[in-house]
Structure 1
Amino acid sequence: MAVKIATITFHMARNYGALLQCFALQKAIQNLGYRSEVLDYDCKQISKGYNLVNFDSKLSFIKSLLLFPFFYRKKKRYDRFIKRYISVSQRYDYHELARAARDYVAFITGSDQVWNYKLTGGDSTYFLDFVPDHRKRLSYAASFGIKEIPEERNGFYQKNLEGMGHLSVREKTAAAMIKQLCGRRAEVVLDPVFLQTAEQWRTIMPKKREKGYVFVYMPGKHTLKCAADLARRKGLTIIFCAYDISLRKFKQNIGDIRLSLGPDEFLSLLDGADYVVTGSFHATAFSLILQKRFFVEVPPKVGSRITDLLDSFDLRDRIFNGAGALEDREIDWSKVEQRMNHLRQQSLTSLRRSIEAAVHG
């Protein structure tokens, strides 16, 4: 019977990147010859952000009721994707995790922003502190998602990072932060979505129907205006994959708004686009994998993960800031693919070696 490896990440978040990277890491582990399950752990700080009805304010409550049918359909499509494509463990709450430590040979935390205290509320579970044997605590492409650690949090991070076995992170900035915090070296590897090829990703996509559009996702301050201008100049429509609609700023509700996409539908629409205009790390990553012409507006506070990614492919010229029209410069896709294949093999080698060291001691 194959050795069982557990991963822990934000698998219940209704966020496209979070679930697709979760799927990709599990597939990569399985392709290395191991059994893999995602720990069905519910971090309350994460899950509360995905309640179908929002009680934060009267306006939020009314808005969530109006959009409830869309959000409900989206939840069902996420649930369907998980059931079809991801192997999930039994449910564990915080006090049951010690039992999980006996059920698997090694544990991997990551990818995504599992070490972002703002998202997790400082949940040390994502440092695998429930696993007694430190050698069994691995990270793969873990991310802080923030530029710097507040001084009052240094102790928390130092203690938990020192308790890890093998360390690998997604960004150069994360490796530098770890070096500064505790003096340890962390390998820099690709986000799990890069461990699957374009052909492998297309096997889970539904058939494409729409044509001639700009795909917009997670817009920044200037994204919608620039995307609208690009679509007008190119004679294209806009498909806007949105998390909600604005009841106050109606000009933000541009194009054909899709509120209920599942992860596979999101991927299919991105793949069918003439252009992708986004402020998202994972939309940028999939644009590279699927060789889509893209432009990215880097978020001001969490943008290092995007700039580090673009630096890996020498593509900082895809960044825009709202000054002038988007310039449709050609991308040397053969160069991108060659670089991606090289980094993919390096990353898979790192993953394989870290698991082997944990399994064989």
Structure 2
Amino acid sequence: MHNVNILTIHKEPNYGAVLQAYALYKTIENLGHVPYIINLDMDYSRFPYSLKYRVLLGLHKWMKGYSHCFALAERFSKKHCPNQIGNFHTTAELESYPWNKGDYYLIGSDQVWNPGITQNLRTAFCFSFLKNDVKNRYAYAASFGNIKDEERRKSELDMKALSLFKRIAVREKFGVEFLRRNGIDAVEVIDPTLLLESYRDLLPHKVEERNEILFLSLSDTAEMNAFAKGLSVKTGLPIRKHYGYLQPERKKNM
């Protein structure tokens, strides 16, 4: 049995981020180890997006409920991933913490190696804050997101710190190729959300049944909208569109 300290994006208020952190935590637990979430606060609740970004994506109305959604994500994390270390906000705070060199350290999935998301904390997600005598460094299903610019990845990530990892598994094939071109071995794996057989523990005692089509839209394309509308006409069922982010009206189920 080992202590496994997980660093991932665990409080971003969308279902993907919340569930990947939960799934990785539970998988480590199911393997007989003791998982801990390294509680790094990325301050999304205060500075979620630039004004330009919000306007471009038409999120200005949605942003009014963002703080509440962030609180839901944080509450979910504390409830379902109760073992958490610290309350960190900066790389300097992480560096000053007395990390146990005998523990295992795991960079979790999600877009942890996308500097556009991790920004000034990007090197922390390479475990740059750990001393060199910490040998048990791993990554599971780490993602570079949409950062296809190889030179940007090399310049903004701590490649030296990544070279100290014992094993690295990433979500994308191009991520494997990028790391191998830079002398770092890696393999491609599935997202941790697909490692669990059941999510029944997260369901409320009574599940509301709805005769409708749930349209989870992560990339709102004309083709997807046309397909959903066609399915609605064919089945006679209404469409409920969802963009993947936690919704304030769902708080009673969290």
* Residue identity matched to 1:241: H
Report matched runs for 1:31-180 at 5 Å.
31-44=30-43, 48-50=46-48, 56=51, 67=62, 70-87=65-82, 88-93=84-89, 94-98=91-95, 99-102=97-100, 105-121=103-119, 123-132=122-131, 133=133, 135-146=135-146, 148-157=148-157, 158-180=159-181
Equivalent residue for 2:213?
A: 213
SS in structure 1 opposite 2:179?
A: helix
Q: How far apart are the structure 2 equivalents of 1:225 and 1:100?
A: 55
User: TM-score, structure 1 length as denominator?
Assistant: 0.58
Q: How far apart are the structure 2 equivalents of 1:264 and 1:22?
A: 21
CA 1:131/1:73 → structure 2, altered by over 3 Å: closer, same or farther? closer
Q: How far apart are the structure 2 equivalents of 1:24 and 1:154?
A: 29
Report matched runs for 1:167-316 at 5 Å.
167-180=168-181, 182-197=182-197, 200-206=198-204, 207-222=207-222, 223-242=224-243, 259-260=247-248
Deviations 1:87-130 (A, max 9, x none): 22221232221315238711100201100111112610001111
Q: How far apart are the structure 1 equivalents of 2:50 and 2:185?
A: 44
Deviations 1:165-219 (A, max 9, x none): 3211122221111112x1222122221101101xx21331231321232333324
SS in structure 1 opposite 2:176?
A: helix
Q: How far apart are the structure 2 equivalents of 1:227 and 1:161?
A: 42
* Residue identity matched to 1:235: G
Equivalent residue for 1:19?
A: 18
Q: How far apart are the structure 1 equivalents of 2:87 and 2:102?
A: 15
The answer to whether the Cα contact below 8 Å between 2:25 and 2:35 also exists between their aligned partners in 1 is yes
Q: How far apart are the structure 1 equivalents of 2:152 and 2:214?
A: 44
1:18 Cα deviation from its structure 2 partner = 0.6
The answer to whether the Cα contact below 8 Å between 2:5 and 2:35 also exists between their aligned partners in 1 is yes
CA 1:102/1:172 → structure 2, altered by over 3 Å: closer, same or farther? same
CA 1:119/1:147 → structure 2, altered by over 3 Å: closer, same or farther? closer
Q: CA RMSD in A?
A: 3.2
1:163 Cα deviation from its structure 2 partner = 2.9
Identical amino acids, percent of aligned pairs: 25
The answer to whether the Cα contact below 8 Å between 2:147 and 2:153 also exists between their aligned partners in 1 is no
Deviations 1:22-63 (A, max 9, x none): 00000011111111111111235x55553xxx7837x96xx9
1:156 Cα deviation from its structure 2 partner = 4.5
CA 1:243/1:5 → structure 2, altered by over 3 Å: closer, same or farther? closer
Aligned length: 242
User: TM-score, structure 2 length as denominator?
Assistant: 0.80
Q: How far apart are the structure 1 equivalents of 2:42 and 2:66?
A: 20
1:70 Cα deviation from its structure 2 partner = 4.1
SS in structure 1 opposite 2:12?
A: coil
The answer to whether the Cα contact below 8 Å between 1:110 and 1:143 also exists between their aligned partners in 2 is no
CA 1:66/1:175 → structure 2, altered by over 3 Å: closer, same or farther? closer
Task: Specify the structure having the higher radius of gyration (Cα).
Answer: 1
Q: How far apart are the structure 1 equivalents of 2:6 and 2:244?
A: 27
CA 1:218/1:148 → structure 2, altered by over 3 Å: closer, same or farther? closer
CA 1:263/1:189 → structure 2, altered by over 3 Å: closer, same or farther? farther
CA 1:174/1:89 → structure 2, altered by over 3 Å: closer, same or farther? same
* Residue identity matched to 2:186: A
The answer to whether the Cα contact below 8 Å between 2:14 and 2:244 also exists between their aligned partners in 1 is no
